[in-house]
Amino acid sequence: MTRELFWLTMTVILTGLMWLPYVIDRCMVRGLKATMDNPSPRAKPQSPWAQRLYFAHTNAVDNLVTFAPLVLILDSIGRSTETTALACAVYFWARLGHAVVYAAGLPVIRTLVWTVGFLAQAALVLAIFGKL
């Protein structure tokens, strides 16, 4: 497994587990029965941090749709360098940081951390075209 595929795997695992804390919060706020019920506008709102984590998770899924193919393209063309491996590691840590900062409610830092992840993806695009 290349380092890029390792970081893709770690990012998939992170994204796949990110929903757990906000579902636990939903159980604590609404109770188990209401958590398993269909969504309703009358449902008791979740904790603010859990609402923000929900949006961070949605954003992580949206960005995984871009990150994963980039890594897979690099793997399929046999391009693995220190730079591509670093970009993938930076992307993972940026996604983790984004989720933590978003849940904590730090908007400016959230945007900066998201931008770091975006730049890591841009580096992968450049690597695919042999420009990096």
Q: Are the CB atoms for 98 and 59 separated by under 8 Å?
A: yes
C-alpha of 49 from chain center: 16
Tens-place pLDDT, residues 16-72: 999 999 999 999 999 999 999 998 889 999 999 999 999 999 999 999 999 999 999
Distance CA(127)–CA(2), nearest Å, equals 15
Distance CA(81)–CA(63), nearest Å, equals 22
Tens-place pLDDT, residues 66-103: 999 999 999 999 999 999 999 999 999 999 999 999 99
Query: How many beta carbons lie within 10 A of that of residue 49, not counting itself?
Result: 15
Domain hosting residue 94, numbered range: 3-128
pLDDT on residue 39: 81
Please state the φ and ψ torsions of residue 117, each to the nearest 5 degrees: -65, -40
Say how many domains are in the chain.
1
Query: Which residues lie below 8 Å from residue 67, measured CB to CB, with a gap of 6+?
Result: 8, 11, 91, 121, 124
CATH number of the domain encompassing residue 117: 1.20.120.550
Query: Which residues lie below 8 Å from residue 66, measured CB to CB, with a gap of 6+?
Result: 121
